[in-house]
Structure 1
């Protein structure tokens, strides 16, 4: 890519200059327009060093990346090929000692990563520890760095501005994708992503509520264990001893990348197995437990309730015979003289 500017004749006292911007590796062409037939009095010079680069149609410096070309009878072009940062500065086209036009060349450098941490694309931290991420970028113009966090539910949020990202007492919710984005509003943005996993010791939960069962029933107890990294094994214990009863069966199933479920089945429970049970999960960060007490329900005998009436079923119909004394009291009416009248 080549950047060309066509200059015009300026007055002797005009101190303004044209700004040319280019990225490292691009070409820049500076043009100078003058009166015809006066080319021998025209020169290009570099203001910062005072070096004369050309005089008339001859190049004074013999460097392969500088090229002088007579474009027309009243125009000279000075071309800098594949520029670098050292080519920045002020250049002038002179007619004798009069400045015809000047150019301020600004060489830009697209953003590039100088260093970053971690070097790998993923990193793990223990729960409650500190997290350090960094992105160091070189660019001209300088860049602004923005950090974003995308959690496991793919919720995105901007969390930080600057090269270094530091967080203390991190939790499992801090896991996810972290991305640093560098932009200087001139070049295309660049970014680098890191996947952070926050490791934690097992969270153990027995899913059953209080358990009260009859003798000889079959019982299922479910225990969920979540951790990062996943537990190696889930243990069922009674009195701190691993269970070896022949009628107790243990099976395990995967719920997701963090959680497992263990099911303890007690077939035909006997009276000695009504007790407190422990579900324990263990990984490299430690172990945790949850407990459940399985209680026995005693079978009670039903007592027949005594009634004051006799119930007799005759020919499919129910006849109630009232107690004689009760009937007598009901049918008797006492008079004021003490005589008893019968209805």
Structure 2
């Protein structure tokens, strides 16, 4: 993996910084100070701080975050979403990380639905995740450019697809949203104008790619901003096999629609592996206390595979659970 003289390199674990001048180090210091204040409040307002810092202290350089041994992710300078990683050991999506650690010994394929810049594709395909085969799927073409850059930065060790996860493959969809972390094929309001377009692919068709030949077990991460039900519709074979899904429940959805669909329609078993201890979710009402903020998505784990269920039940039996 190569960085250039035009990259600022930040170790996401230790916090060490290299390649930054005085102004850029000041910007990083301001981001970290803001995180110290705002993290206890679920990072409320941090994106505004990052944009303000970038405007006040601009730089043409980009930032590379060292995510682990042999794993790096490059972003724009003071990216409003990814700059949380300037805080050493920031607990990014702890439920997914816990699942990956729990499954490191399992030969599985990883489908990164809604990959964004490729954070989890980098981790899972690297030594921390056991170097699993990965296909990263990202719909927005401008965000896909960052994903492809990070694929090359990490030696091309995962596959990247510029597609939108959908119920059927080959359909044309429009993409809405300004923020790269919140792009969706769902029109947010009447009159909202699309900014990009894309072709769809089903999860089953991704799983059938040569990268996953001979594999029978999968982890599917679904961060697809409102089209989770459609994504599940295109995953009949995966649902019938040894697959575990990580899907997002948004804090703003008081009806817990995705979990309701997963429990009541798909009849999957659901587990929470985030902060506060691992536990099974058997009723949508149990999701309410998990959602601490309306601004965030919360990752839940769903499966009907006995292989994965046995693994989660052993985890539940080996540690305390809390309500």
The TM tier, using the shorter chain, reads under 0.3
Structure with max Cα Rg: 1
Greater share of residues in helix: 2
Greater share of residues in strand: 1
Which one has more relative contact order, counting CA pairs under 8 Å at least 6 apart? 2
TM-score normalised per structure 1: 0.19
